[in-house]
Amino acid sequence: MGWSPVTRRIAITRSRLSFHYSSPIPGLVGLKLQYTSAVHQNQTTPMSTSAPRKALNLSNINPHVKKAEYAVRGAIPIKSEEYRKILAAAGTVSASGSDSASQNTTPNHNLPFNDVISANIGNPQQLGQKPLTFIRQVLSILEYPALLEHEGLFPKDVRERAKWLLEQVGSVGAYSQSQGCFGLRKSVARFIEERDGHPADPDDIFLTAGASSGVSTLLHTICASKETGVLIPIPQYPLYTATLALIDATPVPYYLDEPLSWATDVPAIRGEITKARAAGTELRAIVVINPGNPTGATLTEQNIADVISLAAEEHLVIMADEVYQTNVYQGEFHSFKKVLRNLQKESPGKYDHVELVSFHSVSKGMIGECGHRAGYFELVGFDKEVQAQIYKLVSITLCPPVIGQCLVELMINPPKKGSESYDLYNKEHNVIFGDLRERSQALHKAFGKMRGVSCQDPLGSMYLFPTITIPPKAIEAAKKQGQKPDEFYCMKVLDATGICTVPGSGFGQKEGTWHFRTTFLAPGTEWVEKLEKFHEAFMTEYEG
């Protein structure tokens, strides 16, 4: 006898689905996903025999997807988006969060702030950075070539570059070669040669849908089984551990040296290699992020040479994440390829077998074109048969976005001195760089005033990663809420100020230490002052 929806009804008071994963990386907090639905206690819901069963649930989807974590868009950023929706509904702030609402004197909401500052992720144009005129003018023509018919609409060098790019790709609406258009890869090779003083082969260069796509491609190629290990710097950008979780490989953490400006510590790495191999892990690669994310560190030439020597001895592929190479505010950027080629020249035979892949992106630097999703990687010293397999892998997705490929060429080949667009491009570029450096110093100075906070000098990238001393009362309060202490702190920052940051536990950190990462992309100083005031109130509340 069938169930009748009229005679059989079920009362629901509250349903909740929770999932929590503890990362294998020490100090890396799991991302808790929770869905809660509440209805009135007396409300009833009919049960129907005709309702189809769901094919997917948490028990039968790919378990590696559930393991993957990505803190920069985790629980705190998700809550910040809810606040942004409230402000947008009240007419206080734009949906993108790029407009200040300080002029709104009668806000139609109950939040203690009128704007959300997304300092959790390096997304420059969300926080007001203007796109470079030359780049957007060329892209406009590429998207609508009929603009070339309008004389005087754009400078001569803009028109010439757009014509050249269209000759290379044909149309940005058509597929290209899977590795990327050959003419554009030749341009990237020239850039690398000029940067490093050593030759580059366009056949070793792959254009990608952002550096993240390239990282995923290489990790999928390198990792053959669960026993495959990849050395990951801690703190790290969580792309690496998330991707390793998806492909069911083993992250092997190595800690950066915070007192030495987050430098690599090769003796410590050797210790981790010994432990990993004793546990049965087959180490294949080492990841190095330079300039650092989340730390903002820049490696010296000697730091890099030490890592290359280690990789040569241990037969490790070097994955050099160099997407912040133009974001250097003190010192100088040294590419891994340049240092490797110099070592090979100085010591013939010793480093000839080293395999290096380096990544670059249009999302960072002064370009800041995150939404266009474009970048490249260069393979150095790879077996040609392995390289052919990498080509096959990228072919599965047909090709990277062609408009993004063109944007890569514009990034590495800006207007030359004497061209019509040079002066404006140079001015816009220098203003962005100067503002970033000035804001990094202002934020660093603010951290220097805060009780229980210390921070390394801002050397590069777009971030600062201060250490926080969290009072025992706050640690206990965090524990009661099921949060890490730095997660608790960052959530309090968001609730009080609208500033969205990322707890250090989302990147990994030494046990017993607490950090948070913040960008210095947001314009002005008002938000920094709000952060200072919040911190003083937080410490006063929990130190008493």
DSSP string, 288-306: EESS-TTT-----HHHHHH
Predicted local distance difference test score (pLDDT) of residue 156? 95
- Which tokens go with 273? 């290699």
- Which tokens go with 29? 């907090």
- Which tokens go with 346? 């100085």
pTM: 0.84
Within 247-397, residue ranges assigned H as helices are 266-278, 301-314, 336-346, 384-395
Q: How many angstroms from the chain centroid is the CA of residue 45?
A: 44
Name which of 290, 385, 337 is nearest 193 in CA terms.
337
Predicted local distance difference test score (pLDDT) of residue 403? 96
- Which tokens go with 469? 């001393």
Q: What residues have CB less than 8 Å from 236, skipping those under 6 apart? A: 25, 253, 287, 289, 507, 508
Predicted local distance difference test score (pLDDT) of residue 106? 56
Three-state secondary structure call for residue 168: helix
Strand 467-468 to 453-454 pairing: antiparallel
Three-state secondary structure call for residue 38: strand
- Which tokens go with 47? 């049960």
What DSSP line would sit under 176-227, residue for residue? --TT--HHHHHHHHHHHHHHHSS---GGGEEEESSHHHHHHHHHHHH--STT
Q: Where are the domains of the chain?
A: 63-115+424-543, 135-412
Alpha-carbon dihedral 293, 19, 253, 238, rounded to 10 degrees: -20
Q: Can you tell me the distance from the alpha carbon of 358 to that of 304, in angstroms, rounded to the nearest whole number?
A: 13
Which CATH number describes the domain made up of 63-115+424-543?
A: 3.90.1150.10
Name which of 425, 304, 441, 440 is nearest 367 in CA terms.
425
DSSP type of residue 31: P
CATH 3.40.50.10420 fits 135-412, yes or no: no
Cα–Cα distance list, 148 to 85, 139, 140, 151, 174 (Å): 41, 12, 10, 7, 19
Question: What number of CA atoms fall less than 13 Å from residue 336's CA on the CB side?
Answer: 31
Q: Can you tell me the distance from the alpha carbon of 350 to that of 348, in angstroms, rounded to the nearest whole number?
A: 6
Q: Can you tell me the distance from the alpha carbon of 276 to that of 314, in angstroms, rounded to the nearest whole number?
A: 13
Predicted local distance difference test score (pLDDT) of residue 90? 83
The answer to whether 292 and 298 are in contact (CB under 8 A) is yes
Residue 503 has phi, psi (to 5 degrees) of: -65, 150
Residue 491 has phi, psi (to 5 degrees) of: -70, -40
- Which tokens go with 102? 């300080």
Q: Can you tell me the distance from the alpha carbon of 321 to that of 243, in angstroms, rounded to the nearest whole number?
A: 15
Bridge partners, residue 37, by sequence: 15
- Which tokens go with 266? 């090769």
The per-residue b/e assignment along 290-327, b for 16 or more CB within 10 angstroms, e otherwise, is bbbbbbbbbbeeebbbbbbbbbbeeebbbbbbbbbbbb
Predicted local distance difference test score (pLDDT) of residue 382? 96
Q: What residues have CB less than 8 Å from 149, skipping those under 6 apart? A: none
Predicted local distance difference test score (pLDDT) of residue 70? 64
The answer to whether 223 and 201 are in contact (CB under 8 A) is no
Mean pLDDT (10-residue bins), the chain, 544 residues: 39 41 47 40 50 76 73 78 89 51 58 89 85 97 94 93 96 93 97 97 96 93 93 90 90 92 92 95 96 92 96 96 94 96 95 96 92 95 94 92 96 96 97 93 91 91 92 94 92 94 89 90 86 93 84
Element counts in the chain: helices (H) and strands (E) = 16, 18
Q: Which residue has the tokens 């004793």?
A: 278
Largest CA distance in the chain: 87
Q: Can you tell me the distance from the alpha carbon of 189 to that of 329, in angstroms, rounded to the nearest whole number?
A: 26
